[in-house]
């Protein structure tokens, strides 16, 4: 298992409960994984992600609510922002696989763990 840091940004109402369900089921993921719980990931500016990479975060998973987001227009704004971040990552030589925008629901334990596993593989490959 990789010891490089993976940051997960979760939403209060969908993906964080999914993370909590993983813990309640006593399922494990790497100690190198850190979770930030926020109302919605759209609140982070583009430069947040680039600064995180500069400060040693190897991979970032943005676990959003997708089209179920309760904040009107937030998901399309987030998706557009992430697309711009990918362009900035490319310019800096950071592999795109080190940032992922995904949708995780309140009971998606297997999907939550799968996303972490895939990010660990992407980080190890870069």
Domains of the chain, earliest start first:
5-125 (3.40.50)
pLDDT band at 11 (very low <50, low <70, confident <90, very high): confident
**pLDDT recorded at residue 89:** 96
Please check the confidence at residue 107 and state whether its pLDDT lies above 80.
no
**pLDDT recorded at residue 8:** 94
Give 82-94 pLDDT, tens digit per residue. Answer: 999 999 999 999 9
Least confident range of 85-89, 99-103, 109-113: 109-113
Which residue has 């179920």 as its token pair? 68
Give 16-75 pLDDT, tens digit per residue. Answer: 767 777 777 777 788 899 999 988 888 899 999 999 999 999 999 998 866 666 667 678
Number of H helices, E strands in the chain: 4, 4
Of 23, 50, 43, 41, the residue nearest 116 (C-alpha): 23
Q: What is the DSSP letter of 94?
A: -
């Amino acid at each position: 298992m990789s010891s490089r840091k993976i940051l997960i940004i979760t939403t209060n109402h969908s993906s964080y409960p999914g993370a909590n369900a993983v813990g309640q089921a006593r399922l494990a993921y790497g100690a190198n994984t850190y979770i930030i719980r926020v109302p919605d990931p759209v609140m982070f500016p583009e430069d947040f992600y680039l600064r995180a990479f500069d400060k040693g975060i190897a991979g970032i998973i943005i676990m959003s609510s997708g089209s179920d987001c309760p904040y009107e227009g937030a998901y399309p704004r987030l998706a557009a922002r992430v697309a711009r971040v990918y362009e900035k990552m490319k310019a800096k030589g950071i592999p795109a696989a080190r940032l992922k925008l995904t949708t995780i629901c309140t009971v998606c334990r297997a999907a939550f763990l799968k996303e972490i596993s895939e990010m660990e593989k992407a980080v190890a490959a870069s």
